[in-house]
Homo-oligomer: A and B are copies of this chain.
Amino acid sequence: MTTGAHKHRVVIIGGGFGGIAAIEQLKGTGVDITIIDRRNHHLFQPLLYQVATTSLSPSEIAWPIRMLVRHRPEVTTVLGNVTGIDKTAQLVELEDGARIAYDSLIIATGAAHAYFGHDEWAPYAPGLKTLEDATAMRRRLLLAFEAAERQTDPEKRKALLTFAIIGAGPTGVELAGAVIELARLTLRDDFRTIHPEEARVVLIEAGPRVLLNFRESLSEYTKSALERLGVEVHLGDAVTNITADSVAYGDKVLRAGTIVWAAGVLASPAAKWLEVEADRAGRIKVNPDLTVPGYPNIYAIGDTVSVLGPNGKPVPGIGDAAKQGGRQAGRAIEAQLAGKPVPPFRYRHLGDIATIGRSAAVIDFGWVQLTGWVGWWVWGLAHIYFLIGLKNRISVAVSWMWIYLTGHRSARLITWGEAGGARQTPLAPKDMAKPPDPDPGAA
């Protein structure tokens, strides 16, 4: 497939787990690589909830993509926003008008959160996908306590100290545990008129149990562990409405000053760029070798695709599946260049994992299940191992040790969008409810 005299050009869109794994897999194959991302950094999303809940700093879980590939001169990093793909001319189109030619293309563009047709809920119940989402959520959480401290009306104060988390998958479970511990441990001595133990954290799940994709015994354990921490778990009712300060589900309307969305995802617009078939969540239905139907030189991997694993079940939208997809795409390109047959993608599920606060976790390796503090330590060591670079490993280990020993979290900062933002009103009750500000980053 090499055209003309140039080296084979691989373009990768997306510098998440999948894209970075593909670059690693292609090391030494002699191809030219261009990695395009609209962010300058690779993000370790599994720990994003810890930035949102003040345990970690953004820079502890993010790395500049061009730093990760600095010793790979064949890799060019492009900070740019993809707007389309010209499949005939084999060009990736960027918003700024640039066109980047490919011989092979790997699409690893991930997913965003989705509101099941209720985009009007987005301002009131933000989700968690980017560093900005995390620092905005951190600000909302901390401002809720600040506003409650100054609120004299008991009903309003109660609402300000109520945190509703919608969706009890791993992100919802992890956020619920972290928020209740933030309230009851970290902020214990810090307020004068509110008592942080008054804080209510309500986890709302439409399905019959928390962690629906885990085995049932672990769901049961997780629910009990959350309840021991003080989280109220409500199962079996879908959310029917969200306003600035309330969530409706079943026959209840919960008044809550802070509402968090952890319920649904929508794939990136890659299917639209390619004009190929997608499922209800926008995911491209790829071939078993992860190529896009009709385009043997276009691979799509990770959260933006729908594919079945060897057990006949869909490959889950988790970081490890994206990594395996990236490695598969790299191996497939190598095989194609060598004229060898392309091996099919054999997803291997390594396990399910979720933490519950700072002293318990559930892990299912298939052959063994871990819970409690043993689970937590395995979770913690595994996550430190998967971080990139010694510096961030040291940094995260120190931060966790510190929280473990003292309960103090080191990143309790309320920061605003733009320079000058905080020169104005730091706290107004409407901050609790107002929709996010119009996008300042947009052109």
Contact = CB atoms under 8 A, between A and B. Distances in A.
Nearest to A142: B40
Contacts of A427: 79-81, 96
Contacts of A101: none
A426 interface: yes
Contacts of A77: 190, 192
A79 B427 CA distance: 7
Given A81-B424, A132-B422, A419-B133, A67 B408 contact: yes
A412 B64 contact: yes
A428 B83 CA distance: 14
A423 interface: yes
A417 B441 contact: yes
A219 interface: no
Interface residues of A, number: 79
Nearest to A186: B67
A93 interface: no
A414 B41 contact: yes
A125 B41 CA distance: 26
A73 B192 contact: yes
Contacts of A439: 418, 420-421, 423-424
Interface in A61-114: 62, 64, 66-67, 70-71, 73, 76-81, 95-96, 98, 112
Contacts of A191: 66
Interface centre among A392, A415, A426, A427 (most CB of B within 10 A): A415
- Interface core residue of A80, A428, A440 (most chain B CB under 10 Å): A440
Contacts of A112: 423
A62 B41 CA distance: 23
A280 interface: no
Q: Which of A39, A424, A441 has the most CB of B within 10 A?
A: A441
B424 A79 contact: no
Nearest to A405: B391
A7 to B, nearest CB: 14
Nearest to A56: B59
A215 interface: no
Contact of A38 (B142, B402, B423): B423
A57 interface: yes
Contact of A418 (B395, B412, B441): B441
A67 B441 contact: no
Interface string A380-412: 000000000001101100110010000010111
Contact of A39 (B80, B126, B414): B414
Nearest to A412: B64
B411 A38 contact: no
A58 interface: yes
A232 interface: no
B136 A64 contact: no
Nearest to A75: B192
Contacts of A431: 443
A76 B96 CA distance: 51
A130 interface: yes
A132 B418 CA distance: 6
Nearest to A127: B419
B414 A417 contact: no
Given A58-B413, A59-B410, A416-B441, 18 more contacts: A41-B413, A59-B412, A59-B413, A64-B412, A67-B190, A73-B192, A95-B425, A130-B420, A132-B418, A132-B422, A135-B415, A136-B418, A392-B410, A416-B440, A418-B437, A421-B440, A424-B443, A440-B440
30 contacts: A40-B412, A40-B414, A57-B58, A57-B60, A70-B190, A71-B189, A79-B426, A79-B427, A80-B427, A81-B426, A96-B425, A96-B428, A126-B419, A131-B413, A132-B420, A133-B419, A135-B419, A394-B398, A416-B440, A417-B417, A417-B418, A418-B440, A421-B439, A421-B440, A421-B442, A423-B439, A425-B441, A428-B443, A437-B440, A438-B440
In the A-B complex, the 9 residue pairs with the smallest Cβ-Cβ separation, listed nearest first, are A417-B417, A421-B441, A437-B440, A416-B441, A417-B440, A424-B442, A136-B419, A59-B411, A70-B189
